[in-house]
Amino acid sequence: MSQTIISSQPHSTSGYATSSQWTSDEFDCCEDMGICLCGTFVPCFLACKVASDYGECCCLPCIGGTVMAMRTGIRERYHIPGSICNDCVCLTFCGPCALCQMARELKTRN
């Protein structure tokens, strides 16, 4: 006599056990005017602030590619769906807006 064992395991279609979204969109820059003005006029200062809020050395953005690594790290830390390719496109074509989004996300979550 044969017995059939049926088992099922939970799975997630997004690849994350619990997924969330960014708390604001890339183009919601005016939600926080302080961050918006800083990102518009002194984005290098905002990048240093984001690195500091992320828990890294404030000089980290001076090294090429680290802002993209921070964006990817923020997504991973807070289980936000996306891809490295999407991060690269956002930072390449909408750099100040993406940087402002990262700053707002860290401000909201911290």
pLDDT digits (tens, 9 = 90+) for 46-91: 999 999 999 999 999 999 899 999 999 999 999 999 999 999 999 9
Rounded to two decimals, the pTM is: 0.79
> Quick check: 2 pLDDT over 80?
no
* Contact by Cβ (8 Å): 78, 19: no
Please list, in sequence order, all residues whose beta carbon lies within 8 angstroms of the beta carbon of residue 23, skipping any fewer than 6 positions away: 104, 105, 108, 109
Per the model's pLDDT, the better-predicted residue between 62 and 15 turns out to be: 62
68/53 Cα distance (integer angstroms): 15
